Amino acid sequence: MAVSALSTAGLPADRLRLTLDGRWLFDFEGAGRRLPPGRDIAVPGIWQAQFAELRNAPGRGVYRRHVSIPSDLGDRRLFLVFGGVFHEAEVRIDGRAVARHANAWTPFEIEVTGRRDGFDLEVIVSAPDDDGPTPRHRPCVVV
């Protein structure tokens, strides 16, 4: 189960990229397993590989971070681009649900034009209890 995220493959070369790879805050609940709130997690990456106590653990992971938009981007249109989020994802911006996606292997994007002051990004990932394939890891960006 991964918040994967950014795929630059297929994006026009002239699109600027602001990567969101790095450290995010992470919370987890599922099947009798919990983590203390606000743990640090690397994105892209899967929670089972980063927390031994979550190995093979289905549940609900919540990834959070603040996104700052550089002032020199001018009037460009801005999009969050996710290369894939394993399994089912809900994306929230400033606490409001803005997208849902249920296919770990396909990219999706969300327009964030007009949020020049930055925003709080939350990606809620639900991993069903199954023995599915190991996810691919992808980065996340604003373009």
Give the pLDDT mean for 15-33: 83
Residue 78 is classified by DSSP as -
- Phi and psi for 73 in degrees, rounded to 5? -80, -10
Listed in order, strand segments (DSSP E) in 31-134 are: 33-34, 39-43, 45-46, 59-67, 79-82, 85-86, 88-93, 96-101, 108-111, 119-127
Query: Quick one: pLDDT band at residue 138, thresholds 50, 70, 90?
Result: very low
**pLDDT at 93 exceeding the cut of 70:** yes
What's this model's pTM, rounded to 2 decimal places? 0.76
Confidence of residue 129 (pLDDT cuts 50, 70, 90): low
Instruction: Calculate mean pLDDT across residues 98-107.
Output: 85
Residues 6+ apart with CB under 8 A from 88: 100, 101, 102, 125, 126, 127, 128
